[in-house]
Amino acid sequence: MGVLLNRVEKLGLLFVIWFLAAVAPAVSGELKIGVVNTPRVLQEAPQARSSSASLEQEFAPRERKLVESQKKIKSKEERLLRDSAIMNESERRRSERDLLAMKRELKRSQDEFREDLNIRRNEELRKLQQVISKVIDDIAKEKGFDLILGENVIYADESIDITDQILERLKKAGSGK
């Protein structure tokens, strides 16, 4: 699905470029195009760092509990290995069942943790994308851009790269909060 979407996006981008090339001679005046390095914006925006720190703080207690559970399981495994020779059969089987139950519970907890973290990460990413989109729209209108391109740009001259302007605006917006 992702590969198909990527191809559709590329075809759409090629169509837009072809359309603009075909229409450009007929349009009086010059076409103003800008380019945004989206991965760089997502990485360097202060809102992204803030969001990451917030997620880390939110999920740190659960992560610590998972690490503690892993240590308990490892300790129980070592104890079982060490003491299995002197245990009677029923004790050994009970310890093995307890260990298996602990491992299952840990796996379930890890899966829930990953799922919850991914959900929250996606929520934060959507919020960040909305902020970034608003900043791009504002800059495009203020500076009179006709077209702003984002991902899948293979090459763009520095003169049309507005990434620094977007990051500067995001920094101002981030410090204003």
CA dist., res. 20 & res. 27, Å (int): 10
2 and 74 co-located in one domain: no
16 and 52 co-located in one domain: no
Q: Is the pLDDT of residue 16 over 70?
A: no
5 and 39 co-located in one domain: no
Domain range for 147 is 32-175
74 and 156 co-located in one domain: yes
Model-level pTM?
0.69
7 and 84 co-located in one domain: no
76 and 133 co-located in one domain: yes
Cα–Cα distances in angstroms (integers) from residue 127 to residues 82, 88, 114, 172, in the given order = 52, 58, 20, 17
The answer to whether the Cα torsion of 49, 54, 58, 64 is positive or negative is: positive
Helix (H, G, I), strand (E, B) or coil at 150: coil
Domain harbouring 93, CATH code: 3.30.910.20
**pLDDT tens readout for residues 141-176:** 999 999 999 888 888 888 898 999 999 999 998 765
Largest distance between two CA atoms of the chain: 92
User: Comparing 29 with 113, which gets the higher pLDDT?
Assistant: 113
62 and 18 co-located in one domain: no
User: How many independent structural domains does the chain possess?
Assistant: 2
